[in-house]
Amino acid sequence: MAMSDVHREKWRILRNVSVLGLAFMVQFSAYTGITHLQSTVNSSGGLGTASLTSVYAGLIFSSVFLSTSVIRWLGCKWTVIAAFIAYMPYIGAQFYPQFSTMIPTGLLMGLGGGPLWCAKCTYVTVITKTFSEITSVDIEVITVQFFAIFFTIYIFCHVWGNLVSSLDMLHDVSPVAIYCNIRHCEVGNYRVYLQAYVSCAWGIRNIGYVMICYGVTNALSAVITGSLVRLTGRVPLVVCATVLHSGVVVGLLCWEPRSHDKAMFFVMSGLWGVADGVWQIQINAMYGVLFPGQEEAAFSNFKLCTSIGYILTYSYSSYICTDVKLYIISTLMLVGVAGYLLVEWKERNRTDTRLNKE
């Protein structure tokens, strides 16, 4: 291939990754702004949590039975378009939040979500191989950097979606005038922080601003770690994220939030965003490297596992207090990191064995 053709192909691939990230950012700016407020705004009768449970129930089904078949039938690009359309009814149902509207549209969105994320990851992984071949750069490095480009753009959906929702809520919601401590019982994962800390102690209207901080630090983390991986590899970054995330959990367990702790709300959110940026990029990149030629099945299983985690979180969120949830989060994180390190160790041994034979 001539140098001019190589240069043109490189920019075409980089443009496609960037456009894909931009499309996801626009789509999920609408979705993210409403989902982070579901358990608060649509709390009557547990509607918000029930609708999110239906979303992840649909995701589990589509990850198991639909993703691979749909991608092979439509291809990655048309799968993304069709899945975007499947998200629209749920977003529209927010104007008429009833069980009869939210649950069916949530299921439909979940059915589209499995193929959507699988198609995105498959597409990025496939074009990574092409880019690696024409540039002779190590595919593991390129895979991390391409996922970093995608997530850096996509993560800004947390900024725009939550900015709109926060500005809107300034006119509609008064501050929550109750004292909140570590025993408050609601929602799960990052939503533990949003409702049990931010909403309860500082007010619902400020959730969006705290999420904007999360989105910005998440994007910065994606940019920085995507560049650092060439120097450090994946494992040191994951270990650092584990230490940081553990520190955040310990801080939340020790902190009794009050409305005047404004800076602390942003510090905790920002640190969580930094750690989460590492998780998203490094784990997705690892799947792309470990399963060449089996991307659809690999990323379907990945989305299945994350969906099961979400639906389990929502199922127990109303029955377990915040401190217990934080202990569960930290325990599962440590178990997951141990499993990750074991996979990395086995992959390194397998690679060394193959190189020795050659």
| Whole-number Cα distances in Å, 180 to 38, 258, 316 | 19, 7, 20
Confidence of residue 179 (pLDDT cuts 50, 70, 90): very low
Is residue 310's pLDDT more than 80? no
Is residue 94's pLDDT more than 70? yes
Position 177 scores a pLDDT of: 32
What are the helix and strand counts (H, E) for the chain? 14, 0
Domain count, the chain: 1
| Token pair listed for 125 | 């992984």
- Residues of the domain holding 107: 3-357
> How long, in residues, is the chain?
358
Residue 234: how many other CB atoms lie within 10 Å: 21
Is residue 100's pLDDT more than 50? yes
204 secondary structure, DSSP code: G
Contact 158, 214 (CB under 8 A): yes
Position 176 scores a pLDDT of: 35
Q: What is the mean pLDDT of residues 156-163?
A: 73
CA distance 42 to 37: 8
∠ CA(209), CA(215), CA(220), 5° rounding?
135
Q: What is the mean pLDDT of the chain?
A: 82
CA distance 302 to 19: 24
Position 164 scores a pLDDT of: 64
Closest CA to 194 of 32, 29, 37: 37
Please state the pTM of the whole predicted model. 0.77
Position 307 scores a pLDDT of: 78
The domain that holds 113 is classified in CATH as: 1.20.1250.20
